[in-house]
Amino acid sequence: MQLTRMRLKLTPEELPEAYAKLSESDMERLCRFGKKRSYQAGEALFSEGQKQASMHALISGRIGIYQHIGRGDAEQIAEITPGMFTGDVSMMSGRATVAEGRCLEPSEVIEVPFGQLKRLLVEDSYLSDIIVSAYIKRRAALSSKGLSSIQLLGSRYAKDTARIREFLTRNALPYNFIDLESGADYRSLLQAIEVPEAETPVMVYKGSEILKNPSNETIANKLGVSCLEEEELLYDVAVVGSGPAGLAASVNAASDGLSVINIDAAGPGGQAGSSSKIENYLGFPMGISGQELANRAMVQAQKFGVLMVAPQMVNRLEKAGDTYHLALANRKTVQARSVVLALGAKYHRLAIDNIGDFEGSSIHFNATGMEAQLCRDEDVAIVGAGNSAGQAAVFLSESCRHVYLVVRKDNLVYKMSNYLIRRIEDRENITVLTQSEVTALSGRDGMLDSIDISDNRSGQTTTRGIHHLFLFLGAKPLTDWLEGTLSLDTKGFIKTGLDLEPIDLVRAQWNLNRMPSVFETTWPRVYAVGDVRSGSSKRVAAAVGEGSMTIGLAFRALNE
């Protein structure tokens, strides 16, 4: 039996690195981690949505890769020929697969189970480089071509549509977005799934499973994103937060052979994920978006075996003898010998009564490609004077008609890097409004029509037709749940190392024969890094450095 060939959506000709071939010696090397198996034509090797699926390297035969892109049967999107192997980044983490594999003719493969693939990625750097590179390229191709079993229908102005899109993007999940405001023929699709427009956003999975305005946790469970199924395990390191600091800590701990779990309320990226382009991070002279940097770090963490859990909130941190218990919002408990708190911070809001009416639709705290699409060829306003605001202004000026940067101070030099100031000065479609504030918002149905900007020198107020307002106003640490547990400074940031005063240690009953190390809190082997730490520089590079350094300190403390 031989299944019919069809026009493929992904081919080795257009994506050579994604479909790298293993040589005969490579295949022999791979046999250390897997076993040879034979399959008949039509047999499934793995199914779409399967967790901890095996990787298959093809010795002979053909394998078809399929996805439920529409509402009909699964479509073939790619073909694996001898020397190639199956899978993408989901294989590395044990998350649910985004496609299924079937033999198109009698085939012989080397089957590498999930546990052995994890071992391979750590022990064999040569094969690991080939596999990881191909997996990253495949996931990027799926995203760029819109090849996904996930369809999201909703208005780009709706808060929950923005929330779902951000969650899918942060967790590197490919999806197709059908915007109800775009004029596309979406009504026939809504009729087919029997969902009224008033009940959108709606997510359609594999053409038949309907999720009406699902929560992030519901999406994660459906798509197999959150892999926390056991709570009896004791981890060497529990990292709370997956911004740059948390991801750096996770990667360094796992690469040192420690067992690591990373828990985040939304998914990789943190505050840095909102940066459209980071140009002063070492090693990226052309710049890199915050979300791309986070996605690469997530793959790196998964390569070394970090268990990534999102979306999940940690509600409580407790001592339990020589270990720590982290109580989660889903009533499960994570046990760990050491804890790294990389909680990040949340941007401040404007003190305007009706601001909540426009958040998630017209008011944004990120400036990425998704937001740039919403306001193309429009006038936009940005409030803030730090690097994030400057990066957003430069980025949005490339697609927006005009960008107004509203600053309370009399210039930008207080908080912004010089290279950004110079770039802003060179852009004719960026106007910096110094000593000014946004004082009023007007609009309806969650969509801004205009904003009032007041000049604090003249007292004059100007109304501008602005539909999208971006806020980068500084941040509040996400430490409310730690009140009364660890020592915090007057603004709620976690105190560590030399910032701790004798009274802090007395209150915490510190009883070790050493003082807390540089990033250690008042509890031994509990560390705070990145934006949440009192006195931190609020820079991506510094956060990565802190997360990395902390693991060396933790490793030493674990062996005391």
Confidence tier at 1 by pLDDT (50, 70, 90): very low
Structure tokens at 7: 């026009």
Q: How many CB atoms lie within 10 A of CB 446?
A: 17
Confidence tier at 35 by pLDDT (50, 70, 90): very high
**385, burial (CB in 10 Å: exposed 0-12, middle 13-18, buried 19+):** buried
Given the structure tokens 């004798």, which residue do they identify? 502
Residue 311, preceding peptide bond in cis (omega within 30° of 0): yes
The mean per-residue pLDDT over the stretch 214-238 comes to 84
Confidence tier at 4 by pLDDT (50, 70, 90): very low
Of 102 and 473, the one with more pLDDT: 102
In this model, does residue 274 exceed pLDDT 80?
A: no
Given the structure tokens 């801004």, which residue do they identify? 448
Closest C-alpha among 439, 228, 463 to residue 350: 439
Confidence tier at 157 by pLDDT (50, 70, 90): confident
Rounded to two decimals, the pTM is 0.84
CA distance 56 to 36: 9
Cα separations in angstroms, 104 against 36, 81, 206, 256, 306: 18, 10, 21, 42, 35
Confidence tier at 361 by pLDDT (50, 70, 90): confident
**305, burial (CB in 10 Å: exposed 0-12, middle 13-18, buried 19+):** buried
CA distance 497 to 501: 9
pLDDT (tens digit per residue) in 125-136: 999 999 999 999
The mean per-residue pLDDT over the stretch 493-521 comes to 96
In this model, does residue 304 exceed pLDDT 60?
A: yes
Are 441 and 449 contacting, i.e. CB atoms less than 8 angstroms apart? no
Given the structure tokens 């915490």, which residue do they identify? 508
Q: How many CB atoms lie within 10 A of CB 116?
A: 18
The conformation of residue 365, written as its DSSP 8-state character, comes to S
The mean per-residue pLDDT over the stretch 172-190 comes to 85
CA distance 125 to 109: 22
pLDDT (tens digit per residue) in 469-482: 999 987 789 999 99
Per-residue confidence (pLDDT) for residue 527, from 0 to 100: 98
Pairing of strands 209-212, 202-205: antiparallel
The mean per-residue pLDDT over the stretch 297-320 comes to 94
Q: How many CB atoms lie within 10 A of CB 142?
A: 25
Confidence tier at 316 by pLDDT (50, 70, 90): very high
Helix, strand, coil % (nearest 5) of the chain? 30, 25, 45
Confidence tier at 229 by pLDDT (50, 70, 90): low
Q: At what angle do helices 125-145 and 114-123 cross, to 10 degrees?
A: 120
Per-residue confidence (pLDDT) for residue 17, from 0 to 100: 87
Per-residue confidence (pLDDT) for residue 230, from 0 to 100: 58
Domains of the chain, start order:
24-115 (2.60.120.10), 150-223 (3.40.30.10), 234-346+490-558 (3.50.50.60), 355-471 (3.50.50.60)
Closest C-alpha among 137, 316, 336, 317 to residue 249: 336
The mean per-residue pLDDT over the stretch 93-104 comes to 93
Pairing of strands 475-477, 345-347: antiparallel
Q: At what angle do helices 159-170 and 216-223 cross, to 10 degrees?
A: 40
CA distance 87 to 471: 40
In this model, does residue 120 exceed pLDDT 50?
A: yes
Structure tokens at 20: 């790298």
pLDDT (tens digit per residue) in 510-521: 999 999 999 999
Q: 138 by DSSP, 3-state: which?
A: helix
CA torsion angle 63 69 71 76 (round to 10): -20
- Which positions ≥6 away from 378 have C-beta within 8 Å? 400, 401, 467, 468
pLDDT (tens digit per residue) in 276-292: 778 778 999 988 988 89
Confidence tier at 271 by pLDDT (50, 70, 90): confident
pLDDT (tens digit per residue) in 392-439: 999 999 999 999 999 999 989 888 999 999 999 999 999 999 999 999
- Maximum CA pair distance of the chain? 82
CA distance 528 to 339: 9
The mean per-residue pLDDT over the stretch 157-178 comes to 91
Per-residue confidence (pLDDT) for residue 69, from 0 to 100: 81
DSSP class per residue in 257-296? T--EEEE-SS-TTGGGGG-S-B-SSTT-TT-B-HHHHHHH
In this model, does residue 39 exceed pLDDT 60?
A: yes
Q: 322 by DSSP, 3-state: which?
A: coil
Structure tokens at 212: 């009406």
Are 262 and 250 contacting, i.e. CB atoms less than 8 angstroms apart? yes
In the chain, DSSP finds a helix count (H) and a strand count (E) of 14, 28
Contacts of residues 159-165 at CB distance under 8 Å and 24 or more positions apart, as own/partner, are 159/359, 159/360, 159/361, 159/446, 160/201, 160/213, 160/360, 161/200, 161/201, 162/360, 162/361, 163/216, 163/360, 164/201, 164/203, 164/214, 164/216, 164/219, 165/370
The conformation of residue 65, written as its DSSP 8-state character, comes to E
Phi-psi label, residue 119: left if phi above 0, alpha if psi -120 to 50, beta otherwise: alpha
Structure tokens at 514: 């050493």
| Window from 228-237, 338-347, 402-411, 544-553 with minimum mean pLDDT | 228-237
The mean per-residue pLDDT over the stretch 241-254 comes to 97
CA distance 424 to 431: 8
Contacts of residues 217-221 at CB distance under 8 Å and 24 or more positions apart, as own/partner, are 217/311, 217/312, 217/330, 219/164, 219/167, 219/168, 220/167, 220/171, 220/310, 220/311
Per-residue confidence (pLDDT) for residue 3, from 0 to 100: 34
